[in-house]
Amino acid sequence: MRAILKENNKLVQSYFMINYYNYKDYFPLFDNPIISAVLLFVVAISTYTGKNKLVKLIKNQDKLKSLEKMRNQLILFSLDYNYNMLTILIYYFS
């Protein structure tokens, strides 16, 4: 059983390493540390502002006219937040 698990672990590691090197070729900009730092700073600022938008939305929910409007704003916020998280993942895995 341990031999099978070790073999599976090697397969998984090799799969991720192959994908890592294939993926890295698409983002040569991330090899430059200055550009990487600037992009990480931009992602951090946009995530912070997105969080503040959600806090304001929750504080002002009694002022909203309808639940539909609040739902639409939450959907837009979650899309923005997911995009920021995806950008962070691309940064760290490249």
Q: What pLDDT score does 27 carry? A: 56
Quick: pLDDT tens for 21-78. 555 555 555 666 777 777 777 777 777 776 677 677 766 666 666 666 767 777 677 6
3-state secondary structure of 3: helix
Residue 89 in tokens: 């993942």
Euclidean distance between CA atoms 15 and 43, whole angstroms: 28
What is the rounded average pLDDT of the residues 83-92? 71
- Model confidence, pTM: 0.32
